[in-house]
Amino acid sequence: MASEAPDRHLMPTYRRHLTLVRGQGSYVEDASGRRYLDWVAGIAVNALGHRHPRVLEALGRAAERFLHVSNLYLTEPQQELAGRLSRLTGLDRVFFANSGAEANEAAIKLARRYFAQQGKSGRVEILAVSHAFHGRTLATLAATDKPAYQQGFGPLPRGFHRIPRSDEPGALLALRRGIGPQTAAVMLEVVQGEAGVHPLDPEYLREVRRLCDRWGALLIVDEVQSGMGRTGPFAAYQRVGIQPDICTLAKALGGGLPLGATCAREAVAQAFQPGSHASTFGGNPVACELALAVLDLLESEGYLGEDGIVARLGAAFGRRLQELKAAGLPITAIRQVGLMIGADVAVPAEAVVRAAEGEGLLVNATGPHTLRLLPPYTTTQQELEEGFAKLEAALRAVAAEPPARDGAPPGAGPAAGPTEGSTPLKERTPRA
Ligand code: PMP
């Protein structure tokens, strides 16, 4: 009898073919024992690599107490973590969820309820930036600007509007026109990750903050990908010197376990009273214990800050990419903040991803011509050399491939356009 394909019972939305069986440090391994340098790091999850000894130690310690308790009760790690996040974000209170989408969903609910409780029930609109990614639940999908991801899932919740990204024409004008007394919140990523690593202009960000203050709207900053030190400081908004009213974290927060956090300033947080919002697993004590271990390491081992390990390692990655570009490899643009790294390529990005995988390096494509690198902060000099040798080999191999079947030479692809189809300030939600 022919055996079934191992992915036979997974929904076809899982389209990758590689099955991983273990990881250690900067590497993961497949079932055949092949090792790969992991420069996607669980998409910004494994900030300190796989199975960091201090994280495993915390896991053992946490498992001695309990794996989970009802969310009718509090746990010590959850309370301690809330305090740590409050200090690190400059916000007062934390709600714990299980993922980035859930943390953002809670942020949107919190913003709307904050105004509803003041009797301003018409103040429901959320302005989100073009090319944004905030998650896959219905509300976060409405805030997300990826039409392909929204296809077939309507009707999405109403009240979400698009504002242009800072590099788009007329962005500031559209921002000033779009915000008003109906705006509950402006929601943004300081560095857009899924769009291919696009940092928003600092002046645009400061203007968003000023306009939110002027109109009494809230600023929600999604730090799900850029937080936990990935851009250098703990949160990317700290690079620009703005303070959000709400900020969300997930991915690297739980040290490899699912954990999200919605942090808010005191007055806003008061909108969530007992019964307002809850999650069975959110704030799981084991995940919180791991988060504390990751934060201990980030803070005590010099990863954070302007001259921290992330910033210095990021600069080294940037230099190496520039060298590849200067050497004539098909890199057309490099965008980078700390260890959030995007590179546009003049060849199909998916082909580079596959070729790199063949070389034993995991990177990912965020668009037809955009690669993203999210290496662990613990990457050594030797791993950096190894990774760039593999990336160079992959780029060379793809550049040397014969023209694609449609007749376009490998170098003739358009520059990466992360997503199309956002209409400034147009209601995106199909009406029921
Ligand atoms: N926000 C941002 C900025 C993200 O990058 C992501 C995930 N890529 C999410 C939200 C959603 O997180 P999750 O997949 O944990 O729901």
What is the per-residue pLDDT across 341-385, written as a single tens digit (0 to 9) for each? 999 999 999 999 999 999 999 999 999 999 999 999 999 999 999
CA angle 357/358/359 to nearest 5° reads 85
Are 89 and 158 in contact by the 8 Å Cβ rule? The answer is: no
409: number of Cβ within 10 Å: 13
Structure tokens at 277: 């919002």
Is the same domain home to 258 and 337?
no
pLDDT confidence bin for 6, thresholds 50/70/90: confident
Same domain for 389 and 297: no
On the question of pLDDT at 312 being above 70, the answer is yes
In-domain check, residue 417: no
**Number of helices and strands (H, E) in the chain?**
14, 17
Please check the confidence at residue 257 and state whether its pLDDT lies above 50: yes
Ligand 1 centre distance from Cα of residue 412 (Å) = 32
Peptide bond into 410 cis (omega under 30): no
**Domain around 31:** 20-52+304-399
**Among the ranges given (4-8, 83-87, 143-147), the one the predictor scored with the smallest mean pLDDT:** 4-8
Structure confidence at residue 16 as a pLDDT band (50, 70, 90): confident
**Residue 343's beta-bridge partner residues?**
334, 371
d(CA 389, CA 190): 31
Same domain, 93 and 39: no
> 101 CB under 6 A from ligand 1?
yes
Helices 285-300 and 53-63: angle between axes, nearest 10 degrees:
150
* pLDDT-above-90 percentage for the chain: 89
How many whole angstroms separate alpha carbon 198 and alpha carbon 133? 12
Is residue 413 included in any domain, yes or no? Answer: no
Q: Whose CA is nearest to atom 1 of ligand 1?
A: 134
- State ipTM: 0.99
Do 44 and 58 lie in one domain? The reply is no
Q: Is residue 38 part of a domain?
A: yes
Residue where the block lists tokens 């698009």: 162
Question: For residue 171, what pLDDT is reported?
Answer: 97
**Average pLDDT, rounded, for the chain:** 93
Concatenated DSSP letters of 294-333: HHHHHHHTT-SSTTSHHHHHHHHHHHHHHHHHHTT-SEEE
Total structural domains within the chain: 2
Residue 146 has pLDDT above 70, yes or no: yes
Alpha helices in 90-227 (DSSP H): 100-116, 138-143, 147-150, 171-178, 202-215
Which SS3 state, helix, strand or coil, does residue 113 take? helix
The closest alpha carbon to 246, from 218, 287, 217, belongs to 218
Which of 247, 303, 304, 279 is closest to 78 using CA atoms? 279
Among 274, 302, 330, residue at a domain's last position:
302
Task: Return the CATH number at 63.
Answer: 3.40.640.10
Testing ligand 1's pocket by substitution, the residue of 98, 102, 133 carrying the most ligand atoms inside 8 A of its CB is 133
Mean pLDDT of 155-166: 98
For ligand 1, say whether the CB of 139 is within 6 Å of any of its atoms.
Answer: no
Counting from 1 in the atom list of ligand 1, the atom nearest the Cα of 137 is 16
For the stretch 40-62, pLDDT in tens is 988 999 999 999 999 999 999 99
User: 209 and 71, same structural domain?
Assistant: yes
Whether residue 407 lies inside any domain: the answer is no
pTM > 0.90: yes
In short, whether 42's Cβ falls inside 6 Å of ligand 1 is no
pLDDT in tens, 314-345: 999 999 999 999 999 999 999 999 999 999 99
Atom of ligand 1 nearest to the CA of 136: 16
Does residue 342 share a domain with residue 217?
A: no
Q: Give the pLDDT of residue 65.
A: 97
410 in a structural domain: no
Residue finishing a domain among 302, 330, 360 = 302
The structure tokens listed for 422 are: 């956002």
Residue 248 lies in a domain: yes
User: Is the beta carbon of 43 within 6 A of some atom in ligand 1?
Assistant: yes
Which of these three, 268, 302, 336, is where a domain ends?
A: 302
The CA 100 to ligand 1 mean position distance, Å, reads: 5
Distance CA 384, CA 223 (A): 26
CA 132 – ligand 1 centroid, Å? 10
Q: Is the CB of 366 under 6 A from ligand 1?
A: no
**229 and 369 housed in the same domain:** no
Cβ contacts of 10 within 8 Å, gap of 6 or more:
none
Q: Are residues 73 and 200 in the same domain?
A: yes
Instruction: Using the CB atoms, write b or e for 375-408: b if 16+ within 10 Å.
Output: bbbbbeeebbebbbebbbbbbebbbeeeeeeeee
| pLDDT value at residue 2 | 64
Question: Which of these, 364, 351, 368, 363, lies nearest to 387 by C-alpha position?
Answer: 363
Give the model's pLDDT for residue 254: 98
Distances (CA, A) of 232 to 7, 47, 154, 208, 359: 38, 12, 38, 22, 29
Do 309 and 395 reside in the same domain of the chain? yes
User: Which residue type sits at 230?
Assistant: R
CB of 189 closer than 6 angstroms to any ligand 1 atom: yes
User: Are 279 and 165 members of one domain?
Assistant: yes
- The Cβ-side half-sphere exposure at 418, using a 13 Å CA radius, reads 21
Cβ of 135 less than 6 Å from ligand 1: yes
Is 11 contained in some domain? no
User: Is there a domain that residue 429 lies in?
Assistant: no
Confidence category of residue 393, pLDDT binned at 50, 70, 90: very high
What is the C-alpha to C-alpha distance for residues 187 and 135, in angstroms, rounded to an integer? Answer: 12
* Exposure b/e, 138-171, CB count within 10 A at least 16 = b: ebbbbbbbbeeebeeeeebbebbbbbbbbeeeeb
Query: Residue 426 pLDDT > 70, yes or no?
Result: no
Q: For residues 132 and 69, state if they share a domain.
A: yes
**Residue 77: alpha-carbon gap to chain centroid:** 24
pLDDT at 428 over 60: no
Residues 282 and 385 in one domain: no
**In the predicted model, is pLDDT for residue 409 greater than 80?**
no
The CATH number that applies at residue 354 is: 3.90.1150.10
Ligand 1 atom at shortest distance from the alpha carbon of 104: 10
